[in-house]
Structure 1
Amino acid sequence: MDFSSVQKYLLSKHQAKETFPSGPDVAVYKVCHKMFATLTQESGVARVNLKCDPEEAVALRAKYPAVQPGHHMNKKHWNTVFLDSTIPDNEIQRMIDNSYELVINNLPSDELARLLASKP
């Protein structure tokens, strides 16, 4: 996946919003005001930060050289995924889905209920 396809996939998540709180260089993706991803491009290389279960985060880093501890994030709970074409698209989509699910599953019950009720 490239920058554009990751951006589209992130925005396809239910109620996902793209914001730029630190300026135009880093997009922050939130659901119910909680961040589940960031996306940026530097020196022609795109990268996405994704929330991850700590054990899976370590396993993904061991499996894929393009997965590193979260850049400017809590290294235990976040991975940075370099979009360098070395990771299959379906695996990147799975990581995005997982990040989104981790965030919504930790929402307060009333917020989660509102989110689920608004799903088409």
Structure 2
Amino acid sequence: MTPKQLRDACLALTGAGEEFPFDESNSVFKVAGKMFAISRLDGTPLRVSLKCDPDFAVQLRMTYPAITAGYHLNKRHWNTVVLDGSVPDDLVLDLIEDSYDLVVAKLPRREREKLQWRGVRERG
């Protein structure tokens, strides 16, 4: 996955935007003012930190060496994924959507309705 593909995947989600609250190098992707992805898009290797269900986060870390506890984030709820090709792109895309869904699910109903959000999809 390239930096452009990562940015495009994050921004393709309804209501998502990109901000730079920390510095000009770290892209923070938010929905309704809440973070769901963070990446230094010019970093080598490319990495993205994503919110994750705590139990699933542990399972992912045990399965993929490129997935570790969130760097400088709550390690229970965030994973950092090194995008070196060892984690399938389809899984990375699913993890981005899962992160977005976890954030949107916690928003007030009025905010969810503005996004026309349909709820967390089942993992299958």
Cα 1:5–1:43 shift into 2, 3 Å: closer
Which residue does 2:35 correspond to in 1? Answer: 35
Which residue does 1:53 correspond to in 2? Answer: 53
Asked whether the 8 Å contact 2:3–2:42 carries over to 1, the reply is no
DSSP-derived class of the 1:76 partner: coil
Q: Distance in 2 between matches of 1:113 and 1:43?
A: 36
Asked whether the 8 Å contact 2:36–2:103 carries over to 1, the reply is yes
Mind listing any 5+ residue stretches in structure 1 that lack a counterpart? none
Mapping of 1:93-112 within 5 angstroms? 93-112=93-112
Question: Which 4+ runs in 1 deviate beyond 3 A?
Answer: none
- Displacement, 1:43? 5.5
Code of the residue aligned with 1:33 in structure 2: it is G
Deviation track 1:66-92 (CA, whole Å, cap 9, x = no partner) reads 000000100000000011111111000
How many residues in Structure 1 have an aligned counterpart in Structure 2? 117
State the TM-score, normalized to the length of structure 1.
Answer: 0.92
Q: Distance in 2 between matches of 1:43 and 1:98?
A: 23
- Displacement, 1:42? 6.6
Q: CA RMSD in A?
A: 1.3
Q: Distance in 2 between matches of 1:20 and 1:60?
A: 28
Among the aligned pairs, what percent are the same residue? 42
Asked whether the 8 Å contact 1:3–1:83 carries over to 2, the reply is no
Cα 1:4–1:42 shift into 2, 3 Å: closer
State the TM-score, normalized to the length of structure 2.
Answer: 0.90
Mapping of 1:1-120 within 5 angstroms? 1-41=1-41, 44-116=44-116
Deviation track 1:35-74 (CA, whole Å, cap 9, x = no partner) reads 1000115762110000000000000000100000000100
